[in-house]
Amino acid sequence: MHGGACALAILVTGFMAGPAAAYTAYVSNEKDNTMSVVDTATMQVVKTVNVGQRPRGITISHDGKHVYLCASDDDSIEVIDTATLEIVDTLPSGPDPELFVLSPDGKTLYVANEDDNLVTVIDIESKKVLAEIPVGVEPEGMGVSPDGKTMVNTSETTNMAHFIDTSTHEITHNVLVDTRPRFVEFTPDGKQAWVSAEIGGTVSVIDNETREVVHKITFEISGLRAESIQPVGVRITADGKKAYVALGPANRVAVVDTETYEVEKYILVGQRVWQLAFTPDQKTIISTNGVSNDITFIDVATDEPVQSVTVGALPWGVVVSPN
Amino acid sequence: MTSAVPCTLAAFLCFFSPTVNVPGAAAQEASPVATAKPEKKITEIKIGYLRAYAPQLALSVFDVPPRDEGVAGGNVAIADNNTTGSFLRQKFSLDVTEVKPDADVVPAFQEMIAKGERYVVADLSARQLLSIADLARDNGVLIFNAGATDDSLREEECRANIFHTIPTRSMLADGLAQYLIWKQWRRWVLIYGSHERDQLFAEALRRAATRFGGEIVAEKEFKDTGTARRTDSGVVQIQRQMPVFTQDLPEHDVLLVADESEVFGTYVPFRTWIARPVAGTAGLTPSAWHPASEQWGGTQIQNRFAKANGRRMLSKDMAAWTAVRILGEAATRTQGADPRKMADFIRSDDFSIAAFKGQKLTFRKWNQQLRQPIFLGDNRSVVSTSPQEGFLHQVSELDTLGVDEPETKCVLK
């Protein structure tokens, strides 16, 4: 633990040096219907906000002014003003929204409606539903290509990644992946979509040109049974070189070389790690650890865990302010 | 069949126009991918469901089996399969055939074969199931047992064309025993009923005691004397009778009940001579599914099931759902409905199924029993799931539940 404390000191000093380095992280806590607001410089919870029921998916507008939060059991998306931390609006999400992704231009939200086998397309400004796209059973993972032209949804029981043309709202390709696909992350160059499979225990790398699986990443941790390795959240660095994969009840985040697909390291964080988010400066990645009710700050340069911070009950998703 | 390569999926793009509120059909015709290949015709996959049913009594009205127990789970899986099938041009259907619990099932099964059903989910007694096993084999029919918990069907009487999605009595008993040992409640007394299935579960509990270090310090049989299960004066009598019945038992930590026949089990908790927890078929009960499980995505299947059926999902519903989903998964992965290819896939190392139990489920190769965690709960909530922490195994911790490969008597034929 001495190493951790030392790294923490360095990290804090580093943040203090640059004026733009203090960000705010927002964490959705599924079990106690709150959102924790965390200062990434001090690594402390500065406020806990009461939100709708069963908050899960969370994202933020490009200008950092609004947090969007899926209140799954309220069948709505709440819009939270980041200046006042008050719920200022709701968006029509369709039933049981779980996870969503914001289009690169920041105008459209693509929402997975888990109970109704739909993806709902919402225009944020007019608060109108533009389309409801039928997909497979239990839609969950949502990703959008950097050019905004392609959106990908995964369905957990159908075990497919559905590639959807964002101009027509039509599915163009259905790619079979391993059991219970949970999350989609595009590489920054838009050439690949990475899809995690929680029960299958793999990450499928899909070529965005051919829409075929070009590689399957597997994980192995000595002393852990294979069944406990359940990949969920995936994040890829802005330079496209490293991918971080949250491994659920394996309590670790895997660091993967995107060139070789080799796992370089397993970082021990908290219990049942699900989602991940980078700070905008890419110096830190934060994991949500549901069962231990905390989040872990990981130093991206060293891939060492820096500190864990207790948040609300069953932290699910995390997003960091862009400024 | 054309060769099954992933890219053929591209040809079956978006085919559910009626429910889509976007300019669907026109846009689709213009798509270069859709015009490049001829439209594939819909593959129909008919699944038979053969069940023995008659209204049953129970000590509590809560425990009277619903009319559609099991079938309802199968139908939810059909809907799930068809959602997936809409992307692959596959259509699934479930055809239910009912017989009486003690009836000869052969004629009904022959009719199903004649109708062309090559996959059958069975909710039958062990005797009934065995009576159709050879006929099924000779006609290339795969059976998924979603009802019978008998260990003998996976042991001496195992068959190569029968897969089992419902856990065995020994898996259930082992799941319970692991928890009691984890709690350090090691001294047990066992009260069992006088019917065959009660005694089979009692035997599974005895085996579990030996296996995990529990001690059964006394046993007692509760004879079924044929009295009415529910009468107006019954409650008063039971309150006086059950303490007396349990008065002479030696000191123990837990009282185990084996009463699958619903003769006395429900009456044991809170009525014992000394205050002890009750487990088995009453009190803390092991099961394949729990109607209140919300872990591991369980909320989704529970919502889906409740919405479709207006009741909670029970173990047999889950066993049937799993059986039908396995067939759906096999059809998806093999991209067709060839029974032999599907069976090969289910038997292969590539096969696994997700069933809201926190990990992938696979078949034990030696007897085709689906490995699965066991829920432990009372009638309101889940208390725990087994295998418990610390019960280790060289292959899969799920194999600490039930008869393991080195001890099996099964020779698949």
State the residue range of the domain holding B84: 41-167+290-372
Do residues B262 and B336 share a domain?
no
Nearest-angstrom CA–CA distance, B124 and B386: 26
Chain segment A246-284, per-residue pLDDT in tens: 999 999 999 999 999 999 999 999 999 999 999 999 999
Cβ-based contacts of B358 with chain A (< 8 Å)? 249
B404: in domain: no
Do residues B213 and B80 share a domain?
no
B234: in domain: yes
Chain segment A134-185, per-residue pLDDT in tens: 999 999 999 999 999 999 999 999 999 999 999 999 999 999 999 999 999 9
Contact B358, B346 (CB under 8 A): no
For B395, the 3-state DSSP assignment is coil
Confidence of residue B235 (pLDDT cuts 50, 70, 90): low
Contact B259, B63 (CB under 8 A): no
Decide if B332 and A176 are in contact by the 8 Å CB cutoff: yes
If 0-12 CB within 10 Å is exposed, 13-18 middle and 19+ buried, where does residue A281 land? middle
Q: What is the CATH number of the domain that holds B119?
A: 3.40.50.2300
Do residues B178 and B275 share a domain?
yes
Nearest-angstrom CA–CA distance, A49 and A32: 11
Distance from CA of B247 to the nearest CA of A (A): 44
Q: What is the DSSP string of B205-267?
A: HHHHHHHHT-EEEEEEEE------SS-TTHHHHHHHHHHHHTTTPPS-SEEEEE-TT-SSGGG
Average pLDDT on B1-28 reads 37
Do residues B279 and B298 share a domain?
no
Task: List the 4-63 stretch of B: residues with Cβ below 8 A of A.
Answer: 6-7, 9-10, 12-14, 16, 19-24, 27-28, 31, 33
Do residues B305 and B272 share a domain?
no
Cβ-based contacts of A133 with chain B (< 8 Å)? 20, 22
Last residue of a domain, one of B286, B318, B334: B286
What's the token pair of residue B223? Answer: 């004879």
B412: in domain: no
User: For residue B338, what pLDDT is reported?
Assistant: 86
Task: List the 323-342 stretch of B: residues with Cβ below 8 A of A.
Answer: 325, 329, 332-333
B135: in domain: yes
- Chains A, B: CB contacts within 8 A come to 109
Confidence of residue A12 (pLDDT cuts 50, 70, 90): very low
Chain segment B134-169, per-residue pLDDT in tens: 999 999 999 999 999 999 999 999 999 999 999 999
Do residues B179 and B89 share a domain?
no
Chain segment B41-74, per-residue pLDDT in tens: 899 999 999 999 999 989 899 999 999 999 999 9
Cβ-based contacts of A198 with chain B (< 8 Å)? 354
Distance from CA of B64 to the nearest CA of A (A): 29
Q: pTM of this prediction?
A: 0.87
B213: in domain: yes
Helix %, strand %, coil % of chain A (to 5): 10, 55, 40
B400: in domain: no
Q: Is the pLDDT of residue B230 over 80?
A: no
Average pLDDT on B307-316 reads 97
Do residues B176 and B276 share a domain?
yes
Q: H helices within chain A, ranges in order?
A: 2-17
Decide if B20 and A136 are in contact by the 8 Å CB cutoff: no
For chain A, the residues whose C-beta falls within 8 A of a C-beta of chain B are 96, 114-115, 117, 131-134, 136-138, 155-160, 162, 168-176, 179-180, 198-201, 210-213, 225, 227-228, 230, 249
Which of A115, A117, A179 lies closest to B83 in CB terms? A117
Q: What percent of chain B has pLDDT over 70?
A: 88
Do residues B337 and B355 share a domain?
yes
B35: in domain: no
Which of A160, A168, A179 lies closest to B360 in CB terms? A179
Cβ-based contacts of A179 with chain B (< 8 Å)? 352-354, 360
Nearest-angstrom CA–CA distance, B192 and B256: 8
User: For residue B16, what pLDDT is reported?
Assistant: 39
Confidence of residue A82 (pLDDT cuts 50, 70, 90): very high
Chain segment B85-101, per-residue pLDDT in tens: 999 999 999 999 999 99
Q: Which residues pair with A55 in a beta bridge?
A: A71
B82 sits in which H/E element: helix B71-88
Number of domains in chain B: 2
Do residues B231 and B298 share a domain?
no
Do residues B183 and B150 share a domain?
no
B13: in domain: no
Q: What percent of chain B has pLDDT over 90?
A: 80
Nearest-angstrom CA–CA distance, A206 and A175: 8
Q: Is the pLDDT of residue B34 over 60?
A: no
Say if the ipTM goes beyond 0.90.
no
Q: Is the pLDDT of residue A14 over 80?
A: no
Nearest-angstrom CA–CA distance, B404 and B394: 11
Do residues B178 and B226 share a domain?
yes
Do residues B147 and B178 share a domain?
no
Distance from CA of A322 to the nearest CA of B (A): 31
Last residue of a domain, one of B242, B264, B286: B286
Nearest-angstrom CA–CA distance, B373 and B362: 11
Last residue of a domain, one of B286, B317, B347: B286
